[in-house]
Structure 1
């Protein structure tokens, strides 16, 4: 008789664990646009996994509007505008898709308070560097 509660607990775990796993899945792709559509403050920039301390990024902002437009504000007062959209997997952003210089940016982290984007930059020596922008609200 003492085994009945243990059996019930085991059965409850077998039933509930898959439901909990479903609850903890990644963000619904449809709501990624809503999560992204805010103004983000750049908190840190990494270049090839090393924090970039050559510039003060505290005034840098990245705004993604729900309509698919972006505004990137850099200090001192440099403003870039363009368009954005998610790729079909909702894993990457495509910036300025219908221009001569579209750019694909990988979304590493996107939640209610954090955004992390990474992309490759090629310098004048043709060296490639992985750049990571870590952002907060």
Structure 2
């Protein structure tokens, strides 16, 4: 009888273990790109031009970017703010800002994690016409 009772207890323990280990995976373990982007406000951390760090020449840490789940954003730089619209395109590899407006711009998303956002775009010097690459790195505040 003791052996039967021991087997019953082991069977119950095995079933309970299987039920708890087979629970639904946590969906937040791999959040979507949109969830990562809209989770918190991003703060500027580094500003690169053609790979050269220019952060010391500007107050990059005074740049804040908040993406809202409704497709709008607010960017604050040195107390001034700007609003617009955003969407992720090209399999979340591009960030399209202010679609169908005069201010439309597409940023390449180099990195998007729960702690960092790196974007890059091509710009042009108005005086010389030369183009250069700008990379801005953000972190969560």
Give TM-score scaled by structure 2 length.
0.72
Query: RMSD of the TM alignment (CA)?
Result: 1.6
Could you say which residue in structure 1 is the equivalent of 2:11? Answer: none
Question: How far off its partner does 1:128 sit?
Answer: 0.9
Structure 2 SS opposite 1:80: strand
Question: In 1, Cα distance between the equivalents of 2:66 and 2:125?
Answer: 25
| Number of residue-to-residue matches in the alignment | 109
Question: Is 1:57–2:60 an aligned residue pair?
Answer: yes
Shift of 1:94: 0.5
**TM-score when scaled to structure 1?**
0.74
**CA–CA separation in structure 2 for the residues paired with 1:111 and 1:33:** 11
Quote the residue 1:107 is aligned against: 109
**Dislocated runs of 4+, deviation >4 Å:** none
- What stretches of structure 1 of length at least 5 have no aligned partner? 1-26
Give the Cα separation in 1 of the matches to 2:59 and 2:98: 26
Shift of 1:100: 2.4
Alpha-carbon distance in 2 for matches of 1:130, 1:105:
11
Partner SS state of residue 58, structure 1? helix
The unaligned stretches of length 5 or more in structure 2 are 1-28
- Please give the residue correspondences for 1:1-137 in structure 2 after superposition, counting only pairs within 5 Å: 31-37=32-38, 38-52=40-54, 53-75=56-78, 77-124=79-126, 125-137=128-140
Matched with 1:21 is none
Q: Quick check: which has more Rg, 1 or 2?
A: 2
